[in-house]
Structure 1
Amino acid sequence: MARQARGRTGRARVQLAAMIIAGILLLLGLLGFVPGITTGYGEMTFAGHRSGAELFGLFQVSILRNLVFVVSGLIGLALARRLTGARVFLAVGGALYLLLWIYGLATEDKSGANWLPVNGPSDWLHLALGFGMLALGLLLSNAAGTDGRLDDPIDRP
């Protein structure tokens, strides 16, 4: 692996970024289950737009939505242990959060199709997560694992 792509811990920068993002996702998911940090905690439903709970009084949450964040954080921590896994987590996870952003834009806040649930601030969160994860996954991994050299496939003249 490229020396410049490694941090002080001996891990590639893309792995450290994946671990940090995964930790944030895990933390957000767990905080969604904490009364006080989540306002309207007694109004939380398993899924759907009728959940009255909001993380930090801003992001509409449900049990399902909190579980999505917890599971994606745990998957990210597991995948970040390897260079390829970190790349996959950031790139695929970023794409999935962008899809979630599009889903939020396509559904109205009080629509029956809003089963996750999402609201305006959640849409902005998903957009930031999606673009941020994609950018980190693609930009931090350019030289990692190649020592800065391009490959030399045998089928090229």
Structure 2
Amino acid sequence: MNTTTASPAVMYARIFGVVLTLAGIVGLFVNTDQNVTKSLLGFDVNLTHNFVHLATGVVGLIVGFMVLSAARTYALVFGVVYTVLAVWGLVHGNGFNPFGIFGEINRADHFLHLALGVAGVGAYIASPMATRERANHTM
């Protein structure tokens, strides 16, 4: 990967790393209760939801600024995970509580997850494979 020009996957990791990390931190000031869901700018949050955003954001920051070679994988993995979560949530509607630990996730969350997911998959597709990846695919 050319480190002088950031690929779409690197930009995805950096931008969403910052956004999710900040959302997780601010969310902790809004709600540290696991059993109660509160609203942050229209998005339902609880303790677990905040930590998930914080963790995925920190991983994005690490990948986007320190481990550039993993940016494409980060974009694909989190893109697929967030897309699946969004579709699952949209099918179930408001009050969706995957795995019983996230608290209620509302429609705003579903569309945010969909945007995160589609952007991640798009960044993966738009980013060129690293030289090592191309070599492995030609063997």
TM-score when normalising by structure 2 = 0.78
C-alpha distance 119-15 of structure 1, shift in aligned 2 (>3 A): same
Q: Mind listing any 5+ residue stretches in structure 1 that lack a counterpart?
A: 36-40
Quote how far apart the aligned CAs of 1:28 are: 1.1
Q: Quick one: which amino acid aligns to residue 133 of structure 1? A: G
Whole-angstrom distance in 2 between the partners of 1:14 and 1:28: 20
For 1:121, the equivalent position in structure 2 comes to 108
Whole-angstrom distance in 1 between the partners of 2:123 and 2:7: 12
Quote how far apart the aligned CAs of 1:62 are: 0.7
Residue correspondences, number:
133
Root-mean-square deviation (CA, aligned residues, Å) is 2.7
Q: Given the alignment of the two structures, is residue 91 of structure 1 paired with residue 86 of structure 2, yes or no? A: no
Whole-angstrom distance in 1 between the partners of 2:99 and 2:91: 9
Quote how far apart the aligned CAs of 1:92 are: 0.4
For 2:94, the equivalent position in structure 1 comes to 109
Indicate the structure (1 or 2) with the bigger Cα radius of gyration: 1
The percent identity for this pair of structures is 25
Higher helix share: 2
Q: Quick one: which amino acid aligns to residue 119 of structure 2? A: G
Whole-angstrom distance in 1 between the partners of 2:93 and 2:87: 12
- Classify the secondary structure of the residue corresponding to 2:125: helix
Of residues 22, 31, 46, the one that matches 2:34 is 46
TM-score when normalising by structure 1 = 0.70
* Contact residue 15 and residue 82 of structure 1 kept, 8 A: no
